[in-house]
Amino acid sequence: MFRPVSAELVSLLRELKPGAWNLPTVAEGWSVRDVVAHLGDGALRRLSFDRDHSTPPAPPDPIRAEREFASYINTMNGEWVSVARRFSTRILTDLFAWASTALADYFESVALDGPGRFGVSWAGEESSPVWFDVGREFTELWHHQAQIRIAVGAPPLSNPEYLRAVLAIAIHALPQAYRNLPVKEGVTIAIEATGPSGGVWSLERESGKWKVFEGTDERPSARIRIADDAAWRLLFNALPEREIPEAIQVEGRLDFARPLLRARSVIV
């Protein structure tokens, strides 16, 4: 799915009027052109680190906590976005078109069941399989494109399978979000996303940890329902806080839903 979703974005960017590039997005402080620059940077980095086996630069100071890691990533992202404000929108589009095509070539060539280059930090993992590492990049591509489409008033991507894949990957942030919820073994929490991209996933407490699986038990300890559009906005920090309680319906214990309200499938 990486290649067609990238191509859809390139087609959209080539049709944008000049003023649309400066419109604000839900990515705080970033305009449409800034989000495009960020996507190009991400693709170039992954090509450098994964395909070309380049060593990522070390952070200036040792990273000892999650907050320090987030600060380091945000600084790198901000540096590139700032520099890219010197570039024309045509350059930004051509750069993303080339880099995303090359990255699709690479992703389509790798075995997805091996160890990934980077752990998915928002899932609390220091190491992750390739499918999850690549999947994380797909969610980045999809949700940043969604931010752009919202900002410029373009319709969302029409294929519901794209968003369903995003949700199936993003749901793996929940074990990290629920890690401090005190429950007994065997508790199962079903999360149902409704709509054309919807599905049902469950969290189960087993051997002192939470695991994610698709589907649900016949009688889960709690069932949480949320529309597919609200689900991605929640998990990718694009749902206003005041709208979060109204977006979720809970059957069963309300405290089983609270960690979901704080779950994020991005580094924040």
pLDDT at 59: 84
Both 24 and 104 in one domain: the answer is: yes
Both 41 and 100 in one domain: the answer is: yes
Q: Is the distance from CB of 42 to CB of 50 less than 8 angstroms?
A: no
- Looking at the 3D structure of the chain, how many domains does it have? 2
Closest CA to 135 of 177, 165, 105, 174: 165
| Residue of 126 and 226 predicted with greater confidence | 226
Percentage of the residues of the chain whose pLDDT score is greater than 90: 77
Number of Cβ within a 10 Å radius of residue 125: 17
pLDDT digits (tens, 9 = 90+) for 168-178: 999 999 999 99
Number of Cβ within a 10 Å radius of residue 35: 20
Band of pLDDT at residue 210, cut at 50, 70 and 90 = very high
Beta strands (DSSP E) in the chain are 188-194, 199-206, 209-214, 222-227, 248-252
Q: Is the distance from CB of 100 to CB of 6 less than 8 angstroms?
A: yes
Q: Is the distance from CB of 85 to CB of 33 less than 8 angstroms?
A: yes
The answer, yes or no, to whether residue 110 has pLDDT greater than 80, is yes
DSSP string covering 26-83: SSTT-BHHHHHHHHHHHHHHHIIIIIS-PPPPPPSS---SHHHHHHHHHHHHHHHHHH
Query: Residue 136: how many CA atoms within 13 Å on its side-chain side?
Result: 23
pLDDT at 231: 96
| 188-194 vs 199-206, strand pairing mode | antiparallel
- Domain assignment present for residue 165? The answer is no
- Chain centre to alpha carbon of residue 218: 30
Average pLDDT in the chain: 93
Band of pLDDT at residue 71, cut at 50, 70 and 90 = confident
**CATH code, 50:** 1.20.120.450
Structural domain of 16: 2-158
- Domain assignment present for residue 255? The answer is yes
User: What predicted TM-score, i.e. pTM, was given to this entire model?
Assistant: 0.93
Band of pLDDT at residue 100, cut at 50, 70 and 90 = very high
